[in-house]
Chain A
């Protein structure tokens, strides 16, 4: 009888396992590459295990070469979504942490949490001059008065516009959001649009610069999310008439249809978008493929009553160090090199945060014939104007931003409802990770 049940159990397990493996419905998300034991912090004070994405790998390899003989560095290319679970698992086992990680910006909110404890407090190990070199744009990493990461790049929003269309219609570049709306309405009936809002761009380019509290972390246990704040409702009130007039597209900027019907036909007269759009979205032949001499960037328009024309951010990775490493200084040194070295970022599409690095990065672009005029002046102007009301939180805002896009695409006639659904979801997510949500 016993054997019979053992056999039954074995078969039951086999069925469960085969069901897991069968068909196209099981997941194999997150496969690690290479050995994760090598260079683990537990082994010694002079070894570093660095997790990077493919774009950041050359910088890591360069540092590996530079430090050869002094620090034994292992560079491992790891999916961005794998870092968090790997750190959590290492916390569980008490060993095997990666020593330096390149993260999506929000991870620092989780890693700084004392209950997680992974993030190394950088204050004592990084020269204050480095922090100053960010001109305040690195303050995303400043939590409770200390720095817990260094920004790799800034994704500050600017106003991209097509000078040819502006000249054709006799438009002037808007400097306030009211002017932006008026300019957009002048596009009605021309076939041109003032961009697309059915994705994260609506958060980064409208809600965040307006100061709508969505991820406004007050302390470790409290976050402000206020769907009814005037900074949120004014965005909806400004945008809805533009959507109704057909001058704001409610698809995403990466939607195949939008790219085909609008962007590639050079129908985007202007669009609020992050600094990396020029080289990554607008220029490449296989993306928007806008011809040379048309596009450039202007500073962000300001919201009524604001003394500053704030930017939001769409992306912008951060470097975080391992607080469990026996030699925090070599961790911090690696972070400084990876985040700020000018040579390592000159040819990348993203805007470096550290002043000497962005000076080198912008240089070829200032005279680049692709742009109608130097687009980097506006980007540089926005560097200290990234609105610091939105803060790294422990809940997955980035995932929830997908909901915002989906809601806008699904209900173009009710942007207010879309924003409310998005924010109410954010409230539930925040409560789900233990925040008290205040209005």
Chain B
């Protein structure tokens, strides 16, 4: 296939009218122009706010700095050898090891459940999932702080039962990864449950009907029919969630800069990048770290596109094939 990749949908005419070569050519040119026109506004923004900043950042990252006067890869080496780098990698790794499986299991489980329950209740339940997701970012972190700080928490009596009577019993370095995973999970899970519920809705009725006729119960339907059919959407979610998790910043930054100064200082990689730029004025090292993070992100994005069939046009056909 050629050009139509970007403008999926439009070129169906081309594919079906294989007979008339001239028509195909004309239609192909038109589709190409349409495609370019549709892509252009995005392309302008992409250049202005992604490509140019990335090029500038790359130039800064290989430019001279106090510790790398000759430029080149010195800033990259400096970051890799920084005493805060490895702990940050470990922190973020642990965080992802908790956050990703939790998201996958809970989101898949609850969206399947939502899809199975009686239609009468799905709307209020869907709303219930969205409520925590409505409190996002910095506000969510403050809410969680008040929930977890024994002096303020409505659950203080509960905490006291397990011996947590002071803020530092909960907010200490060994608990941080769990606290941040909890915060990130509750702000993100609800949205994804509703989205995955949406992807479950896209499963053709005839497939489900066939399964039902063959005698599958709700459990078998969920795990043997529905789950495999939304697998690629779950993979897509995992990759986006991984990307967001790898860049964790607000949770440790806010806790560390306001309520418990220094508790989670330079806890994550993005925080380290921020510190290098904002408190050390070392833009070279900060951009070097950002470039490394971006490399991981782009690799992941390319894997999503080329190694999963998420962006495959023939999704529905493949689905039907699998189901048979």
Q: Which of B152, B253, B260, B263 gathers most chain A CB within 10 Å?
A: B260
Chain B residues near A7 (CB-CB < 8 A): 5-6
A67 at the interface (CB under 8 A from B): no
A200 at the interface (CB under 8 A from B): yes
Interchain CB contact under 8 A, A252 and B281: no
Q: How far is the CA of A425 from the CA of B166 in the complex (A)?
A: 27
B83 at the interface (CB under 8 A from A): yes
Interchain CB contact under 8 A, B261 and A405: yes
- The range of chain A's interface size is 35 or more
Q: Nearest chain B CB to A28's CB is how many angstroms away?
A: 8
Q: How far is the CA of A17 from the CA of B151 in the complex (A)?
A: 39
Interface hit among B106-114, B199-207, B227-235, B293-301: B293-301
A68 at the interface (CB under 8 A from B): no
Chain A residues near B265 (CB-CB < 8 A): 399-400, 402-403
Q: How far is the CA of A417 from the CA of B253 in the complex (A)?
A: 25
Interchain CB contact under 8 A, B244 and A81: no
Question: For residues 157 through 198 of chain B, which have their beta carbon under 8 Å from a beta carbon of chain A?
Answer: 166-168, 172-173, 183-184, 187-188
Q: How far is the CA of A409 from the CA of B274 in the complex (A)?
A: 25
Q: Mark A60-93, 1 if CB is under 8 A from B, else 0.
A: 0000000000000000000001101101110010
Q: How far is the CA of A251 from the CA of B150 in the complex (A)?
A: 14
Interchain CB contact under 8 A, B173 and A23: no
Interchain CB contact under 8 A, B253 and A29: yes
Q: Nearest chain A CB to B138's CB is how many angstroms away?
A: 8
Interface hit among A152-160, A253-261, A292-300, A315-323: A253-261
Q: How far is the CA of A27 from the CA of B275 in the complex (A)?
A: 13
Q: How far is the CA of A13 from the CA of B301 in the complex (A)?
A: 8
Q: How far is the CA of A6 from the CA of B300 in the complex (A)?
A: 17
Interface hit among A143-151, A169-177, A324-332, A428-436: A428-436
Q: Nearest chain B CB to A419's CB is how many angstroms away?
A: 14
Interchain CB contact under 8 A, A401 and B262: yes
Interchain CB contact under 8 A, A399 and B275: yes
Q: Nearest chain A CB to B280's CB is how many angstroms away?
A: 6
Chain A residues near B51 (CB-CB < 8 A): 13
Interchain CB contact under 8 A, A252 and B2: no
Interface hit among B18-26, B123-131, B213-221, B304-312: B304-312
Interchain CB contact under 8 A, B243 and A15: yes
Choice from A18, A25, A260, A398 contacting B251 with Cβ under 8 Å: A25
Q: Mark A1-15, 1 if CB is under 8 A from B, else 0.
A: 001101110111111
B30 at the interface (CB under 8 A from A): no
Choice from B1, B50, B243 contacting A13 with Cβ under 8 Å: B50
Interchain CB contact under 8 A, A110 and B42: no
Known A400-B262, A433-B282; contact A23-B298, beta-carbon cutoff 8 A? no
Known A10-B42, A12-B305, A24-B141; contact A404-B262, beta-carbon cutoff 8 A? yes
Q: How far is the CA of A81 from the CA of B258 in the complex (A)?
A: 13
Interchain CB contact under 8 A, B297 and A399: no
Interchain CB contact under 8 A, B240 and A10: no
Known A10-B39, A23-B184, A24-B251; contact A433-B173, beta-carbon cutoff 8 A? no
Q: Which of B243, B253, B274 gathers most chain A CB within 10 Å?
A: B243
Chain B residues near A410 (CB-CB < 8 A): 168, 172-173
Report A's interface with B, CB cutoff 8 A: 3-4, 6-8, 10-20, 22-30, 81-82, 84-85, 87-89, 92, 110, 115-116, 199-200, 251-252, 255-257, 260, 394-396, 398-406, 409-410, 425, 428, 432-434
11 residue pairs of the A-B complex, CB under 8 angstroms, read: A10-B46, A17-B50, A24-B251, A25-B245, A84-B281, A89-B283, A110-B280, A396-B280, A402-B260, A425-B83, A433-B67
